[in-house]
Structure 1
Amino acid sequence: MLSIAFDILVLTIYDEEDRASILSQIDAIQNLAGLKNMNLKIINVQGQIHLQIFGELSDVESTSISFELLFLNPLENGIRCKIVKPQGQETQLNPYYDSNLGFIDFSTYIERTDKLIDIFSKMKIQFKKEHPYEGVGKAQEQEKNSFAKNIKDNWSELNSINEFLVFELINEYKKKACLKQMIIDGQEMVDQLIKEKDKLNQFRNQNIDKVVDEYNILQHISTTPYQDQLIELDAKIKGIRDTLRLIQHNFQNNHLNFLELNQFTRNLAKEEFDAFLLLKKCLNQQLE
């Protein structure tokens, strides 16, 4: 063990005095009762090579304790010690030691001046009071797995509900935006109707003493020649369509023969097409 430690320490960053102290401490524990499976390893800590020791300390309440030791640099800073979970055993770390990080920090129980022999002695004393491990039986394991499965299932269900609620919320926001736009459009329509109503009332007040019928209505409506042309074209188209309906009625009642129906219909259709084309042309010019 000493020769291995010597070869490894040559690669580390400890000074000569610290290396000698480390070798002395390793030599002092070589024949320590209950110490087994001890291995030396070098690790990189913040860019510097340190010495780490792994092993087991047995005969502590009939159970072996797995540990990791790290010699700090400089050595006057002491030794860091962790108690870890044994490999391949149905055990878990005792929650009493606040082992949330996956190990028990035993460094809180030792002093910076403690040597290896002192640390192992304190392990035996401390863990006779409160053992670092708790057994995990099959019943406990099943209960733990069942609890974990319930958590997973509940989380999945909660996530599905959350996605559904988010979807519904987005839809409600869309409906709210649509309703808001409908209100705006409706208000604009109401405002426009109020304006048209005011115009109608104004027109009625201005012409309340006038008698208007189909013979004099044009005298009371002020139009431009362009508007007169549009009115005439619209009236002509409607007149042609009324005539076509009358011709169809006469033909059905045998007041016209087929040749007359064909001739009248063709002539009126051409007139309607020409009038509609002219009306469309006028409207397009007005839009321009």
Structure 2
Amino acid sequence: MLNTLEMSQEQAARVSAYATALRLAIPGVHLPGRLPAHFTFDFLADAVRHVLDELGHQRVSIHGISYGGNIAYHFAARYPDAVERLLLTGTAGPGGLALYDPALWESLALRWRTSPREEFAEEMTALLTGTDWGLAAEALQPMRRMVQIWARRLTEDSMQLGIDCGLRMESLTTATVPVPALAVTGEHDAWTPPEACRQLVSAWPDARFTTIRQSDHFVPMTRPAEHADLARRFFLGKLDDMDEQEETVGDFSYCTAWERFQHSTSWQSRSPV
């Protein structure tokens, strides 16, 4: 699993019920530390491969969340023989990530330097979490608390990290990824809009796409049980015949309509009732 340790913690615990879960957070991307933009996605993919080799894992299913998803699918494109299945949550391709526009982070860095910390944290929380879209308060609180804590802890290096991550997007592959893939995000994701996530996988040889209802970019936190259930079914191969047995879509009342992309064709199932 590739993402911040906070966002992946509960998901990893749920995965551990049926598989070995390895969480990987990269300094300068998911953790404090400087990793200049000239360290490209090839470098990040090679770093993931190095860790897997050191641990003796030759073939894995990989789950990337947000920017971690970009690393995950770049890894899968670079080392397809090492990937069994690829799950992307809240991940868009080049041009689909307004969040990582370097100009945005330069503007935020200026606000960080000139605003009181609490005021800046509130502004960042409002910017990144947006409206509640009818979500229950208990679902929103962990997400907003995480963003507020993160915003209060931002440093000059943290702001530069955002700029570097944006500049690094220029090195992200545009190749199709030849492994079974599922792209999912919240239906109200404003960071990586559903259409951008869909567009990323629409030309891949074997990919599915859906969104989870009443959730946004932080779907692993706002709908943790539903997201984990979807991940489990995908990783265990339970979705493989879904296009031939549409009635199984009824089990996914938390999802919107599904799409499958395969050999340059697509299909869309009926929406669950």
TM-score (norm 1): 0.19
Q: Greater relative contact order: 1 or 2 (C-alpha under 8 angstroms, separation 6 or more)? A: 2
Work out which of the two has the higher radius of gyration on C-alpha atoms and give 1 or 2.
1
Question: Which structure has greater helix proportion?
Answer: 1
